[in-house]
Amino acid sequence: MTLQTKETVIGFVGTGVMGKSMASHFLKAGYPVVVYTRTKAKAEDLLAQGAVWKEHVSEVAQASDVIITMVGYPSDVEEVYLGAEGIVPHAKPGSFLIDMTTSKPSLAKKIYEEAKKHDLHSLDAPVSGGDIGAREARLTIMVGGDQEAFDAIEPLLKIMGTNVVLQGGPGAGQHTKMCNQIAIATNMIGVCEAISYAKKAGLDPSRVLESIAAGAAGSWSLSNLAPRMIAGNFDPGFYIKHFIKDMGIALEAAKEMGLLTPGLELSKSLYDELAANGMEDNGTQALIKWFEK
Chain mean position to CA 210 = 28
Average pLDDT estimate for 146-173: 97
User: Three-state SS for 190?
Assistant: helix
> pTM for the whole thing?
0.93
Report pLDDT digits (tens) over 20-73: 999 999 999 999 999 999 999 999 999 999 999 999 999 999 999 999 999 999
- Tell me: pLDDT of 1 over 60: no
Q: Is the pLDDT score of 2 beyond 70?
A: no
Query: End-to-end CA distance of the chain, in Å?
Result: 56
Q: Is the Cβ–Cβ distance between 242 and 250 less than 8 Å?
A: no
Q: Is there a catalytic annotation at residue 42?
A: no
Residue 7 in this model has a pLDDT that exceeds 90 = no
Distance, CA of 151 to CA of 149 (rounded, Å):
5
> Which residues pair with residue 202 across a beta bridge?
none
Rounded CA separation 14/23 (Å): 9
Task: Give residue-wise pLDDT tens across range 177-234.
Answer: 999 999 999 999 999 999 999 999 999 999 999 999 999 999 999 999 999 999 999 9
Question: CA-CA distances (angstroms) from residue 203 to 4, 206, 291?
Answer: 56, 9, 17
pLDDT band at 131 (very low <50, low <70, confident <90, very high): confident
175 to 2, 14, 124, 204, 247: CA distances (angstroms): 27, 22, 10, 39, 12
Q: Which of 109, 110, 177, 268 is catalytic?
A: 177
Average pLDDT over residues 255-266: 97
What is residue 6's predicted lDDT score, i.e. its pLDDT? 76
Residue 254's pLDDT band (cuts 50, 70, 90): very high
Residue 282 dihedral angles phi and psi, to the nearest 5°: -75, 165
The span from the CA of 54 to the CA of 12, in Å, is: 10
Instruction: Give pLDDT, residue 76.
Output: 96
* Mean pLDDT for the stretch of residues 146-172: 97
Q: What is the pLDDT of residue 4?
A: 60
- pLDDT 10s digits, 92-129: 999 999 999 999 999 999 999 999 999 999 999 999 98
Provide the β-strand partners of residue 97.
67, 122
Q: Which distant-in-sequence residues (6+ apart) come within 8 Å of 57 by Cβ?
A: 13, 36, 80, 83, 85, 86, 87, 90
Give me the amino acid identity at 233. N
CA distance 27 to 34: 10
pLDDT at 141: 98
User: Is 5 a residue whose pLDDT tops 90?
Assistant: no
- 3-class SS shares of the chain: helix, strand, coil, % to 5: 55, 15, 30
**3-class state of residue 131 by DSSP:** helix
